[in-house]
Structure 1
Amino acid sequence: MAVSVNLSKGLDKAFEDKGLDEILAAPPSALAGLTERHDGILAEMGIKTIKDLGSNKYFALAGVLVALQGKTG
């Protein structure tokens, strides 16, 4: 089954037409709202690509905690 996702609002304009592998290999500044300055800060934590950012255990845990916030009473 093919899946289509519109990421245009979440990506820098230069990456809107790129494939998933190319986006994951891109620096975090390829995400809308992040800059090359953010790339430098994240690189100091070992995060050099969007894939690194998405698979970082601390960012993943933070995402889960935020998702859970809406599920608890």
Structure 2
Amino acid sequence: MKFGKLVDKAWEDKTASEILAAPPSALEGLTEKHDDQLKALGITTIGDLANWKYAKRAAALAMLAETDR
């Protein structure tokens, strides 16, 4: 699978599993400064971010909001 605009160029040829184990700064638009900030919340990988209960809640609310239209 091509991850193009989802991740930084250095991570485009990696597998989904490798990307989930990567630091959040591997995501397009995030930097190492963001890694430090997220680490304070216990998030050290993209997988941690994806499974963070608040991210899941926000995603669920966004999906539900689409049904209000």
TM-score normalised according to structure 2 size:
0.93
More helix as a share of residues = 2
Find 2:44's aligned residue among 33, 45, 48.
48
Q: Deviations over 1:9-57 (max 9, x none)?
A: 1100000001122101100000000000000000000000000000001
Question: Structure 1 residue 9 and structure 2 residue 5: aligned?
Answer: yes
The gaps in structure 1 that reach 5 residues or longer are none
Alignment partners' CA distance in 2, 1:34 and 1:68 = 27
Query: Does the Cα contact within 8 Å between 2:2 and 2:13 map onto a contact in 1?
Result: no
The gaps in structure 2 that reach 5 residues or longer are none
Alignment partners' CA distance in 1, 2:3 and 2:65 = 25
Amino acid at match of 1:43: K
Report what 1:31 is aligned to: 27
Shift of 1:7: 1.6
Share of identical aligned residues, percent? 51
Q: What is the aligned length? A: 69
